[in-house]
Structure 1
C-alpha cells in the first residue's frame, strides 16, 4: 500500500477506519446506557450485543434512536463494502494484466477468499442487526452472531496462513491422513 498510495494516504485510511469505529462504538455505548430496561437484564446470547439489549428495552424513543443508529451504521458499513468491492475490481483489473499464469493464480488465491470473508461478515451482520424482530429466535440469533463475530477472523487467519508453504504441506498431510484412516 505504501508504494502505490503513499504513506500519507495509508495514514488517512487507517485514521478514518479507527476514528469511525471509535465514533460508532461511542454512540452505541452512550445510547445503550440510556436505555431503560424493563424486561430484566438477562441477555439470551453468549455476548452482549445491541439487538439483544433492545429486546429488553421498554422505551420506544430510545429504541427508535438506537434503530436509527443501527441503520446509519449499516449505511456506513455498506459504503465501506462498496469501497472494498471497487478496490478489488481495480486489483482484479491489474492482476489480469499479469502475464504469467502463476502470478495471476497467486494474486487471486488471496483476493477471492478475502472478499468472500468480507462478504460473509457484512451480510451476516446486516442480517443480525437489521432483521425484523418477528423472525428472531435465540438459536438463530446465536448462529448469526457466531457467523459474523467468530467465523471471519478464523477464516482470515487461515487464508493468510495458507501462504506459508510449511503450513500448506502440514494441512495436506493432515487431510491425507484423515482420508486414509477413514477408508
Structure 2
C-alpha cells in the first residue's frame, strides 16, 4: 500500500493567488514596480561606488556586496513570481523549484553574515579610527566578503539537499514561489529532523549574527559616548544609522518568519511576510542608504554631473 501511494513528484503547482484575478493584477503591478526599483537602485549603488574613488573604502565595499546580494536575491524568485501571476495554474519543475529555493536561502544566509561584518566594520571605524585602515585592509575585507558568500553555500544550500524529503502525491504549493517553508509543508515523510535542522540552522545564521550585531552596537554606543564633540558624535552615529535601519527590517522579518513554530497549513500572513522579506526588503536597502548617506548622495550627484557633461 505504501508503494502504491508513493509517486515521484516531477513538478509543483504554485497556487498562491489562483482564482483571485483582481488580486493577481494588483500584485503583478506592485511586484513589477518593486523589482524594477530594486534592480535599478542596487545597480546604481554598485555603479556609484565603483566609479567614485572617494567611496573606495571597506564600508562601501561591503555595501556594494549587499547591493549585489539584493539583486541576486530578488532575481532568484521575483521574475518567477511575475510569471506565475500571469497564468491561472502556474507550474514549476522539481529541479527548478529546488534550484530557486536553494539560491534564495543561500543568498539570505549570506546577507545575515554580511550585515554582521558591516556592523564589525562600523565598530572598528568608530572605536579605532587611527588603526582602521590597518585592521580593515583590502585583503582582510576580501577574505571577510568571501567568507560570507561561502557561508551561504555551506549553511544555506547544502542542508536543503541533504535533508531527506518524500512528497508522495502532494505537489501543490500555496505560494507564489518555491519558498522553503511552503515546500516543507508538502513533505509526507517524518519532518521532525528537517524542522530540527532548519531551526538549528536558523539559530546559527540568524540569531548568532544578530547577537554579534547587538554586541557590536553596544560597543559602538560606548565609543560614541567617549567622543567629546557633539558634531563628532552626530557624525559617528549617522554612519551607523542606515545599517542599523537595514538590520532592524531584515532581521525582524526573517526571525519572525523562520524561527516561529511551523504548521502544515499556509496562512495569508505567511505569504505577506514572505513577500515583504523577499520582495520589498531588497528594494528598501538602496533607498535607506541613499536617503541617509551624504557621501552616497554626493557621489551620485557627481556621477550624474559627469554624464550630463
Identify if the C-alpha distance between structure 1 residues 106 and 151 changes in structure 2 by more than 3 Å, giving closer, same or farther: farther
For 1:110 and 1:135, the matched residues in 2 are separated by 43
Q: Please tell me whether residue 64 in structure 1 is matched to residue 195 in structure 2.
A: no
Greater RCO, 1 or 2 (C-alpha within 8 Å, sep 6+): 2
Q: What is the aligned-residue RMSD (CA, Å)?
A: 2.9
Q: Please tell me whether residue 45 in structure 1 is matched to residue 175 in structure 2.
A: yes
2:152 aligned partner: 21
Identify if the C-alpha distance between structure 1 residues 108 and 141 changes in structure 2 by more than 3 Å, giving closer, same or farther: same
Q: Scaled by the length of structure 1, what TM-score is found?
A: 0.73
Query: 1:130-156 deviations in whole A, cap 9, x for unaligned?
Result: 322359643101111123223332232
Identify if the C-alpha distance between structure 1 residues 51 and 103 changes in structure 2 by more than 3 Å, giving closer, same or farther: same
Q: Could you tell me how far 1:73 is from its partner in structure 2? A: 1.6
2:29 aligned partner: none
Q: In the alignment, which of 112, 122, 126 is matched to residue 241 of structure 2?
A: 112
Q: In the alignment, which of 283, 291, 303 is matched to residue 154 of structure 1?
A: 283
Identify if the C-alpha distance between structure 1 residues 51 and 115 changes in structure 2 by more than 3 Å, giving closer, same or farther: same
For 2:143 and 2:210, the matched residues in 1 are separated by 18
Q: Could you tell me how far 1:29 is from its partner in structure 2? A: 2.9
Q: Which has the higher helix share?
A: 1
Q: Could you tell me how far 1:11 is from its partner in structure 2? A: 4.0
For 2:296 and 2:143, the matched residues in 1 are separated by 36
Identify if the C-alpha distance between structure 1 residues 27 and 110 changes in structure 2 by more than 3 Å, giving closer, same or farther: same
Contact 2:257-2:273 within 8 A present in 1 as well: yes
For 2:289 and 2:246, the matched residues in 1 are separated by 12
For 2:236 and 2:265, the matched residues in 1 are separated by 40
Q: Scaled by the length of structure 2, what TM-score is found?
A: 0.46
Q: In the alignment, which of 243, 257, 266 is matched to residue 128 of structure 1?
A: 257
Q: Could you tell me how far 1:52 is from its partner in structure 2? A: 0.3
How many residue pairs get aligned? The number is: 165
2:96 aligned partner: none
Q: Which runs of 5+ in 1 are unaligned?
A: 169-183
Q: Could you tell me how far 1:166 is from its partner in structure 2? A: 9.4
Structure 1 segments (4+ residues) deviating >6 Å: none
Q: Could you tell me how far 1:121 is from its partner in structure 2? A: 1.9
